[in-house]
Chain A
Amino acid sequence: MSNEDQSEEKETIRLMKGLHLTKPQLALALVGLVVVLLVPEIEGFFDNLQLDTFHNGILWGMAALGLALLLNKTELVSFGHAAFFGGGAYGGAMLVNFVGVDSGLLILFAAVFFSTAMAFAIGWFVADYVAIYFALLTLAFGQLLYAIAIGSPTLGQDEGLRLRSGGEASGDPPSLFGIEFTLQQQGEYRLVLYYFTILLLIASMIVMYRIMKSPFGSALEAIGQNRTRARFIGIPVERYVWGAFTISGFYGGIAGGLYGLRQLSIGPEGTLYVFVSGEILFMAILGGFQTIIGPIIGGIVLTFLLDNVRFLTEHFELIIGILLLLVVFVLPKGIWGSSEDIKNGLMTRVKNPAQLGADVGTLQKMLINAVRNAITTIKIILFGVK
């Protein structure tokens, strides 16, 4: 979808109104779909591929997709997106614990409703603010929810809540589509949930694509470019931002609700903490927030890294931090967003190996310049410009 401009020249296949893909793109999408559907079957063949990690990665990616709408179109940075992910997870868990519902779909519905309502309420507060103030306020609201969850005995404080029947540790998982699962059938439960997630993922990606292409999406883009101008041409800026914020909360709610159903036990540290918000933001940018697939890929990649680096070393935060620095400086458009550039760069070098020699020269020049700049900087800091 990143090279939609070229698609007019090439032969395209119309999937639905407004969604055209070229043949290679369609093939790629189909291969991706097949791989995603086959993950439960092939996970046994690879040591590092766990369905759990992959599933969680998709869910975090869905939350990041909601965030990408704000990042991409309105250029607002929400640093409290965990509020909606965690809000969804807690919304579902509260229904199980306080009402005693054990239908998975109802739980998911409650999760989405709860977090959308929350996004609606918080959005009313933050829609007026721009840039850093927006980030600051969303972060503060996210932390408020974390504070409430960790402080409230009803919500289980730092232990969190369970989504099993009766809220017991050995309770059965909720039923899905009328199928009851016992404690022993958790494997089947997770498999059904996984395929359900894939279905929702595809639906939510298509819906997001349509939103971004809609007049509403264009209006959001106008707001992102220049609020005053957008106001002058008659766009109700605050209302639209509020709407976009609510939509992104809705996405967080679906992801959080499914996450709750998958984990069957949720805590404030893993779903609501400020670091979780940071991770969601990181996922969106890592994958490429200007695309639809990017945030999902970012979610899967980062969850995979988080799950595996944790086993390798105690200091995984250091590694993630350094990775983050690299993304900011080297790969600002993200993995998926830069794939075109990387491909072109590689192709030039394959066609023309002499380019590599020039690359070495450029690197050398950059290094020398960096050292020279560092010396000047130290001189200026210590002695001033005189």
Chain B
Amino acid sequence: MIELPLFIDLGDAAVHTLNGIFRGSILFMIASGLTIIFGVLGVLNLAHGEFYGIGAFLLTSIATFFVVRIAAPTDPLSTAIFAAAIVIAVLLSAAILIPIAGAIEATVIRPIYDRAEMYQLLLTYALLLILVDTIRIIWGSQPVRPAAVDGQQIHAALDVIPMEELFGFQYSSVRIFTIFIGIGTFLFLLWFFDRTKTGRIIRATAIDREAATAIGVSSDRVFTLVFALGGFFAGFSGALYSVSAIPATAEMGGTALVLSFVVIVIGGLGSIRGSFVGAILVGVVWSWAIAEYPPAEIAAPFALMILVLLVRPEGLYGAWGEIE
């Protein structure tokens, strides 16, 4: 019998790929919201990246609030309490975005459903500008990180949670959790739109708004719900990203937005499966570009997109306009 080493030391290639899947999970949570909002409301929300940015900034504030009040992780119990606090902080950051997104939909986006696309785009672009500056007014224009624990970042404090025994290799625990949350979100959304009553109501409204209204669905409520749901997941991914050592900047929303476009174009607009596959692909390509040839960092995902468009103009899971 061959004796396998207990912990595999991952090579560079595997680390880049894992980083890519991590980024892909984050991207999926943003892009899925964008794609669902587009599928149901018919509005391409240019301000969606800012929800992600707000989530990240909210986490820095809330996590700092917890970190200075909770004992630093030293033994298993205190680590568990610390981790629970961070999870609560992430959920709280995302939850704050539900009323924000809902209010935005109900006040400014609702009146423009019947207007031409250029006004819809212009309006969400205006929201983008307003939200970017709101972030700058609240948190300043410098990059922000959550307060350090015992001189180390949150993710480092959490990375003491052992991963080797579970998976047999050494990699950041926080990122592994994020990947699992990304996959979990994907499965949840599939289940939600396929099996639950609310999910089916949303799909019905997306397909035929008038018929849905006729059988007693409030389309206004559905639209607000969908927009708030998208805001929640964008904020959630921003918060998770912020936990993983990446400082929050006012510009992060723009980059995320543009990469989400690439993701949904690759996957096919309106398709949740497509945006998952697209997000993982873009994440991996992006990470490899950062590691191997940094100048191509932003260009590589676009090259991938053009490649996909040449082969399949309607995207990998070409739904283009309907949720599936």
What's the nearest-Cβ distance from chain A to residue B43, in Å?
8
Tell whether B73 is near chain A: CB-to-CB under 8 Å: no
A-B residue pair count with CB separations less than 8 angstroms: 136
Q: Are B118 and A77 in contact (CB under 8 A)?
A: yes
**Is B81 located at the chain interface by the 8 A CB criterion?**
no
Q: Is B125 an interface residue (CB 8 A)?
A: yes
Per-residue 0/1 for A304-348: is the Cβ within 8 Å of any B Cβ (1 yes, 0 no)? 000000000011011011101101110010000000000000000
* CB proximity of A307 to chain B, nearest CB, Å: 16
Return the CB mask of A141-167 against B: 1 if under 8 Å, else 0. Answer: 101101110111100010000000000
- Is A151 in contact with B299, judged by CB distance below 8 angstroms? yes
**Contact yes or no, A318 B130, CB < 8 A:** yes
Q: A136-B261, A281-B122, A328-B119 are in contact. Are A315 and B302 (CB under 8 A)?
A: no
A77/B117 contact (C-beta < 8 A), A321-B129, A322-B130, A328-B112 known: yes
B224 contacts A by Cβ under 8 Å: yes
Residues B129 and A318 in contact, CB atoms below 8 Å apart: yes
Contact A133/B122 with A152-B295, A315-B136, A315-B137 known, Cβ cut-off 8 Å: no
- Interface: A128 (CB within 8 A): yes
- Of B119, B217, B305, which one neighbours A140 at CB under 8 angstroms? B305
Q: Do the beta carbons of A329 and B111 come within 8 Å of each other? A: yes
Q: Does B59 contact A (CB under 8 A)?
A: no
Chain B: how many interface residues by the 8 Å CB criterion?
A: 55
Contact among B108, B121, B123, B221 for A79, CB-based, below 8 A: B121
A141 partner residues in chain B, CB cutoff 8 A: 302
Whether the Cβ atoms of B221 and A381 lie closer than 8 Å is yes
> With an 8 A cutoff between CB atoms, is B235 at the interface?
no
The reply to whether A321 and B295 form a contact with Cβ atoms under 8 Å apart is no
Cβ of B129 and Cβ of A274 under 8 Å apart?
Answer: no
Are B262 and A146 in contact (CB-based, < 8 A)? no
Q: How far is the CA of A282 from the CA of B125 in the complex (A)?
A: 9
Residues of B with C-beta under 8 A to A322? 126, 130
Contacts of A148 in B (CB 8 A): 299
Contacts of A71 in B (CB 8 A): 118
Q: Does B298 contact A (CB under 8 A)?
A: yes
Q: A131-B117, A140-B261 are in contact. Are A274 and B254 (CB under 8 A)?
A: yes
Q: Does A187 contact B (CB under 8 A)?
A: no
Closest chain A residue to B218, Cβ basis: A385
Name the B residues within 8 Å of A385 (CB-CB): 216-218, 221
> Is B269 at the interface (CB under 8 A from chain A)?
yes
B125 & A278 in contact (Cβ 8 Å cutoff): yes
Q: Let me know if A381 and B119 touch, CB within 8 A.
A: no
Give complex CA distance A225, B119 in Å. 17
A132 to chain B, nearest CB (A): 5
Bitwise interface map of B from 259 to 270 toward A, beta carbon under 8 Å scored 1, else 0: 001101100010
List of A residues within 8 angstroms of B303 by Cβ: 144
Residue contact A281 to B295, C-beta cutoff 8 Å: no
**How far apart sit A327 and B133, CA to CA, in the bound complex (Å)?**
19
The distance in angstroms between the C-alpha atoms of A214 and B55, with both chains bound, is 51
A132 touches B44 (CB 8 A): yes
**B106: interface (CB < 8 Å):** yes
* Chain B neighbourhood of A302, CB < 8 A: none
| Known A-B contacts A278-B125, A321-B130; A133 and B320 likewise in contact (beta carbons under 8 Å) | yes
Q: Shortest distance in angstroms between A366's beta carbon and chain B's nearest beta carbon?
A: 13
With a cutoff of 8 Å between Cβ atoms, the chain A residues found around residue B31 in the complex are none
Cross-chain contact B122 with A324 (CB below 8 angstroms): yes
B218-243 interface bits toward A, Cβ cutoff 8 Å, 1 = contact, 0 = none? 10110011000000000000000000
The reply to whether B111 and A274 form a contact with Cβ atoms under 8 Å apart is no
Say yes or no for B78: interface residue by CB 8 A criterion.
Answer: no
In the assembled complex, how far is the CB of residue A80 from the closest CB belonging to chain B, in whole angstroms? Answer: 11
Nearest chain B CB to A156's CB is how many angstroms away? 12
> Which of A315, A332, A377 lies in contact with B133, CB distance below 8 A?
A315
Are B38 and A143 in touch, CB under 8 angstroms? no
Contact A146 B130 (CB under 8 A): no
| Interfacial chain B residues near A153, Cβ < 8 Å | 295
B117 shortest CB reach to chain A, Å: 5
Q: Counting CB contacts under 8 A, is A241 at the interface?
A: no
User: Please, what's the 1-or-0 string for A280-317, where 1 marks a CB less than 8 Å from any CB in chain B?
Assistant: 01100100000000000000000000000000001101
A135 contacts B130, CB within 8 Å? no
Known: A139-B258, A285-B118. A151 touches B297 (CB 8 A): yes
Cα–Cα distance between A317 and B136 once the two chains are bound (Å): 10
Q: What is the CA–CA distance of A325 and B134 in the complex, to the nearest angstrom?
A: 15
- Residue B116, interface by CB 8 Å: yes
B313 is an interface residue with CB less than 8 A from chain A: yes
Chain A residue at minimum C-beta to C-beta distance from B297? A151
Instruction: Decide: A321 and B221 in contact? CB cutoff 8 A.
Output: no
Q: Give the contacts of B288-311 with A (CB-CB under 8 A).
A: 294-299, 302-303, 305-306, 309
A314 CA / B108 CA spacing, docked (Å): 25
Closest B residue to A370 by beta carbon equals B107
In the complex, what residues of A have CB within 8 A of residue B116's CB? 75
What's the least CB distance linking A240 to chain B, in Å?
19
B218 A281 Cβ-Cβ under 8 A: no
Task: Judge if A380 is at the interface, Cβ distance under 8 Å.
Answer: yes
Residues of the A chain whose Cβ atoms lie less than 8 Å from the Cβ of B294: 151
A211 touches B (CB below 8 Å): no
Other A-B contacts than A153-B295, A328-B115, 4 sampled, CB-CB below 8 A, are: A139-B258, A281-B121, A318-B134, A325-B123
| CB-based closest 5 A-B pairs | A321-B129, A147-B298, A324-B126, A318-B133, A321-B130
